[in-house]
């Protein structure tokens, strides 16, 4: 019986995705979204054109997987922040947003998933 319970616990641990280690609570999201220069700074980091602060660096290191999986391992707060930055980026920095998506999805394999993620509200 203990063996069965142990297997069940291990199965749950393996099946439960680990969240990304990105603390987005320290990010002043409104300050970023309402300041085109700050938005540009974040995009420059993600495009390897500028320096990265710790939050941008954390997002950058996970961005390929985030886009590929529609942020499957993101917390709700992480999803909201990434989604809002990408949405605002499309409006404020459309060329940079296109470059960003092409950089991290050069073959366009995840284009539909990325659009669905950006436009969803979950």
State the CATH number of the domain containing residue 114: 1.10.2080.10
Residue at 3 is within a domain: no
Residue at 91 is within a domain: yes
Residue at 86 is within a domain: yes
Q: What is the per-residue pLDDT for 107?
A: 94
CB 33 within 8 A of CB 88: yes
Residue at 84 is within a domain: yes
**Is 39 exposed, middle or buried (CB count within 10 Å of its CB: 0-12, 13-18, 19+)?**
buried
Boundaries of domain holding 39: 34-119
Query: pLDDT per residue over 31-77, tens digit each?
Result: 999 999 999 999 999 999 999 998 889 889 989 998 899 989 988 88
Report the distance separating Cα 77 and Cα 118, nearest Å. Answer: 14
Residue at 48 is within a domain: yes
Residue at 64 is within a domain: yes
Residue at 53 is within a domain: yes
95 vs 5, more confident:
95
Report the distance separating Cα 93 and Cα 102, nearest Å. Answer: 14
Residue at 58 is within a domain: yes
Question: Into how many domains does the chain fold?
Answer: 1
pLDDT higher than 50, residue 12: no
């Amino acid at each position: 019986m203990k063996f069965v319970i142990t297997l069940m616990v291990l199965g749950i641990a393996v099946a439960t995705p680990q969240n990304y280690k990105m603390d987005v609570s320290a990010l002043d999201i409104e300050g970023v979204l309402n300041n085109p220069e700050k938005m540009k700074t974040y995009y420059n980091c993600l495009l390897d054109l500028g320096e990265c602060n710790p939050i941008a660096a954390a997002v950058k290191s996970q961005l390929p997987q985030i886009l590929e999986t529609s942020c499957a391992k993101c917390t709700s707060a992480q999803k909201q922040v990434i989604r809002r930055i990408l949405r605002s980026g499309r409006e404020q920095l459309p060329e940079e947003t296109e470059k960003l998506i092409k950089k991290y999805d050069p073959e366009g394999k995840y284009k539909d998933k990325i659009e669905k993620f950006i436009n969803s509200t979950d």
